Amino acid sequence: MMGRFMVLLTAFITTLGVATFSGVKIINAIERQSTTTTYSMKVGSLTRSWEVIAPTAALPKSAPIVVVLSGIAATTNYEITRDRLLPYVDADKVEIVYPTAYKESWNAIGCCGPASTANVNDVAFLEALVTKVDPGHARPIYFAGYSNGGRMVYRLECTDPGLFDGMVAVKADPLPGCVVTKPQNVLVFASLDDPWVPYEPGEKGKETPPATVQIARLQAGLKCSGKPASAKHGDMTLYTWSCADGKTLQWALYQTGGHNFPAPTATSPGANQLIWSFMTRTALAPVPA
């Protein structure tokens, strides 16, 4: 027990020496070599915070940073459990950033919850966050968002094109008038039975445009080739277009799953596997053990 305590104490002191933060916790330091560091800063009249989960080992500059924007009414811990990206941190492959949403919501214009009602300046927060987590844009940085968080990713891309190197929208629609035109790597998730984002025109849903309309807009805006390559994995088909400036548009279309974040099944990959493959431009592979 004393030896384990000394290891944890040494890790804590080492972290203190290299970072400025408001709180640090070592998560299962013996079994999983990663740290979670909580930062905060003032943005307008609000104090905003975020968590950085990173390997204890130094990452090369080629290793991506992923900023994950949570869905509505989700805590950071819930989002961490839902997206299943931590195994890639444990494998010394990536650093993940979880900004804390305002009252568990993002001001994505027209949707959803307290952040929209209070007109919170989430764009300013996330722009400032990028300069904190990736000073000088030294590493590839990706934004991934689910539902309300995905809509916020669209808002960022339309407000500040070039802020990040690639974007992932999981079952989300952009705000009205947001058309992605700057050459960008984009991955979009959809389900045929999503009750919120309808699959095609004429189907019932609570958001617009339908998934097929949005993917067509992305093809046009990103100047993608007419016919995509397709690969079927269980009940998911992955469509891939080559676009302007060597960029890629991918569409992961599931037969089922509703509005849920795609989890892995016996035959189909989860969103975590697809996000990793998309960011690294590598073939789909099992999640690191």
Average pLDDT for 109-124? 93
Give pLDDT tens digits for 196-233: 999 999 998 889 999 999 999 999 999 998 899 999 99
Tell me how crowded residue 161 is: count the other CB atoms within 10 A of its CB: 13
DSSP assignment letter at 137: G
Burial class (CB in 10 A: 0-12, 13-18, 19+), 164: buried
pLDDT bracket for residue 22 (50, 70, 90): very low
Q: Is residue 26 in a domain? A: no
Q: Is residue 205 in a domain? A: yes
Q: Is residue 7 in a domain? A: no
Higher pLDDT, 219 or 12: 219
Indicate the pairing of strand 141-146 with strand 166-170: parallel
Bond preceding residue 111 cis, omega within 30 of 0: no
Check which CATH number belongs to the domain holding 105 and give it. Answer: 3.40.50.1820
Token readout for 1 is: 């027990």
Q: Is residue 6 in a domain? A: no
DSSP 216-248: HHHHHHTT--SS-EEEEETTEEEEEEE-GGG-E
Q: What's the total number of domains in the chain?
A: 1
Give pLDDT tens digits for 221-280: 999 988 999 999 999 999 999 999 999 999 999 999 999 999 999 999 999 999 999 999
Phi, psi angle pair for 208, to nearest 5°: -135, 155
Give pLDDT tens digits for 166-177: 999 999 999 999
Structural domain including 139 reads 31-280
pLDDT bracket for residue 135 (50, 70, 90): very high
Q: Is residue 286 in a domain? A: no
